[in-house]
Structure 1
Amino acid sequence: MSQSLLAFILFALASSISPGPTNLLILAHGARQGLRASLAPLLAACAAAASIVWLVGLGLGEALMRHPLAQQAMSWAGVLWLSWLAWRMLRSAGQPLQRIDSKPLGAISAASLQVVNPKVWMMAIAVIGVFAAPSLPVWQLSLMFLLIAIPCMAVWALLGVGSTRWLQTPGRLLWFNRSLAALLLISAWAAVLS
Structure 2
Amino acid sequence: MNIDTFIAWLGVMLPLMISPGPANIVLAGAGMKQGVKNSIPLIIGINTVIVSYSLIIGLGLGEFLRSYPKLLFGIKMAGIVYIFYLSYKFLVIKNFNSAKANTKVYTFYDGLILQLLNPKGILMLFLMFSLFLNPNKNQAIQVLSMVLMLLILAIFCHIIWVTGGNAITKFIKHEKSQKIVNYIFSISLSIVAIWLLIDAIKNL
Settle same-fold status: TM greater than 0.5: yes
Contact 2:96 2:169 in 1 (8 A): no
**How many residue pairs were aligned?**
193
* 1:154 matched residue in structure 2: 159
Give the TM-score of the pair, scaled to structure 2: 0.89
* SS, match of residue 59 in structure 1: coil
**TM-score normalized with structure 1 length:** 0.93
Paired with 2:9 and 2:48, the residues of 1 have a C-alpha distance of: 18
Q: CA deviation at 1:47?
A: 2.8
Residue from 159, 163, 168 that aligns with 2:168 = 163
Is residue 2:78 matched to residue 1:97?
no
Structure 1 segment 64-143 matched on structure 2, within 5 A = 64-92=65-93, 94-98=94-98, 99-101=100-102, 103-133=104-134, 134=137, 137-143=142-148
Aligned CA-pair RMSD: 1.5
- Give the counterpart letter for 1:35 in structure 2: V
Contact 1:118 1:192 in 2 (8 A): no
AA aligned opposite 2:97? L
Letter in structure 1 aligned against 2:36: L
- For 1:13, what is the secondary structure of its paired residue? helix
Q: For residue 182 of structure 1, what is the aligned residue in structure 2?
A: 187
Aligned to 1:59: 60
1:97 maps to a residue whose letter is N
User: 1:8-43, CA deviations, whole angstroms, 9 ceiling, x for partnerless residues?
Assistant: 122221111111111000101101100100111112
Q: Are the aligned partners of 1:23 and 1:156 in contact in 2 as well (CA < 8 Å)?
A: yes
Partner of 1:25: 26
Deviant stretches of 4+, over 6 Å: none
- Pairwise CA distance, 1:96: 4.1
Structure 1: runs of 5 or more not aligned: none
Alpha-carbon distance in structure 2 between the residues aligned to 1:10 and 1:66: 30
Report the alpha carbon displacement of residue 102 of structure 1 after superposing the two structures with TM: 5.1
Residues 36-67 of structure 1 show CA distances to partners (whole Å, capped at 9, x for unaligned) of: 00111112212311321221011232111111
Give distance in 2, aligned partners of 1:96 and 1:111. Answer: 24
Q: Secondary structure at the match of 2:61?
A: helix
Identity level (%): 24
State which drifts further: 49-58 or 20-29: 49-58
